[in-house]
């Protein structure tokens, strides 16, 4: 039950593809790629990070909409096996040969997770003849670890765990609890510490993509991207910091469509044979504060304490 190997690609929507292309090249060091020979249903910006024809795609549409998380499967036979197990569990699966051609993969199926998050499972991604070239000299950590990771909001943690861990066979890597207000679960089918993290929080609707992470192999590349943001008016959500669970040193910035991008270095890899699930009460050892220096985790804890006091009637 290990057909899924990695988060292979992410597809989102944006209203200004030109602004995204500039941001992708000049800030993140991605390479703009040509579209498929047969075209696409909507105008689409394809972006490369490695030898694949693309890893991140922006379809013209409303800002920060999630079109699909694309999970790679080890083979056509593996995809057939996965589809059979999903359908046996009552999960509707749709074969999409025309979309497969647009995504430049051999085979693709579509389905939704329990919250309604759109997923695509595919095999046979296209490898390009021409090498990946970054205008900023960035080298991205991909391969067996996939594009990076995504963080989504869900309606029900237990139902979501049953789907990704119980049905798809993902590994539960770690859990972070923020002052009793939210729980963030980190999962992955690959050696990457997490390919997909999901959170449930009171008042936060499920189904949204909170951020995506791209990892490079040099801390200097991260620093130069941060400098670019500061020099060119790119909104920074969190300054440089080090995460507790995956040890990533990263910062967070806002893309032209409003989607948050985490840009990091030195993420932890997991050996399933020896790993033990970690539980944390903080997301960062240091840093990851907004530019004004506020401690957002302390604010969340204070808010959680106030909510508990109100529920128990304490003054």
Q: What is the pLDDT of residues 141-170, one digit of tens each?
A: 999 999 999 999 999 999 999 999 999 999
CA distance 92 to 207: 18
* Lookup: tokens for 159: 């139902």
Residue 141 falls in which region: left (phi positive, over 0), alpha (psi -120 to 50) or beta? beta
For residues 288-294, average pLDDT: 95
Residue 302 in domain? no
Q: Which long-range contacts (CB under 8 A, 24 or more apart) does 268-273 make?
A: 268/193, 269/145, 269/191, 269/192, 269/193, 270/171, 270/173, 270/188, 270/191, 270/192, 270/193, 271/191, 272/171
Grade residue 302 by pLDDT with cuts at 50, 70 and 90. confident
Residue 37 in domain? yes
What's 62's domain CATH number? 3.10.180.10
Distances (CA, A) of 156 to 69, 74, 167, 201, 269: 19, 29, 16, 10, 27
Grade residue 182 by pLDDT with cuts at 50, 70 and 90. confident
Residue 306 in domain? no
Residue 206 in domain? yes
Instruction: Report the domain count for the chain.
Output: 1
Query: Percentage of the chain surpassing pLDDT 90?
Result: 89
Cα atoms in the Cβ-side hemisphere of radius 13 Å centred on 223? 3
For 270, the domain range is: 4-287
Question: Do you know the residue count of the chain?
Answer: 315
Residue 282 in domain? yes
At residue 315, the pLDDT reads 46
Residue 123 in domain? yes
Residue 192 in domain? yes
Residue 301 in domain? no
Residue 303 has pLDDT above 80, yes or no: no
Q: What is the pLDDT of residues 76-125, one digit of tens each?
A: 999 999 999 999 999 999 999 999 999 999 999 999 999 999 999 999 99
């Amino acid at each position: 039950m290990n057909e899924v190997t990695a988060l292979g690609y992410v597809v989102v929507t944006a209203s200004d593809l030109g602004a995204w292309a500039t941001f992708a090249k000049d800030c993140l060091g991605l390479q703009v790629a040509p579209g498929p020979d047969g075209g696409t249903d909507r105008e689409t910006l394809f972006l490369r990070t490695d030898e694949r024809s693309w890893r991140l795609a922006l379809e013209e549409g409303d800002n920060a909409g999630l079109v699909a998380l694309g999970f790679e499967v080890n083979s056509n036979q593996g995809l057939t096996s996965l589809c059979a197990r999903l359908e046996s569990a009552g999960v509707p699966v749709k074969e999409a040969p025309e979309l497969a051609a647009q995504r430049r993969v051999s085979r693709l199926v579509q389905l939704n997770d329990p919250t309604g998050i759109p997923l695509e499972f595919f095999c046979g991604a296209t490898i390009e003849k021409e090498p990946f070239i970054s205008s900023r000299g960035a080298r991205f950590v991909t391969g067996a670890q996939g594009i990076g990771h995504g963080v989504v909001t869900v309606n029900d943690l237990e139902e979501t765990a049953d789907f990704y861990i119980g049905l798809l066979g993902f590994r539960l890597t770690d859990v972070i609890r923020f002052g009793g207000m939210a729980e963030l679960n980190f999962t992955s089918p690959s050696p990457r510490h997490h390919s997909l993290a999901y959170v449930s929080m009171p008042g936060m609707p499920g189904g949204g993509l909170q951020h995506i992470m791209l990892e490079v192999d040099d801390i200097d590349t991260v620093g130069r991207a941060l400098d670019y943001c500061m020099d060119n008016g790119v909104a920074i959500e969190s300054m440089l910091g080090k995460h507790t669970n995956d040890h990533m040193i990263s910062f967070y910035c806002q893309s032209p469509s409003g989607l948050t991008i985490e840009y990091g270095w030195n993420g932890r890899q997991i050996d399933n044979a020896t790993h033990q699930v970690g539980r944390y009460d903080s997301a960062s050892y240091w840093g990851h504060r907004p530019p004004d220096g506020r401690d957002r985790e302390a604010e969340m804890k204070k808010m959680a304490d106030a909510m508990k006091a109100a529920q128990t009637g304490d003054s």
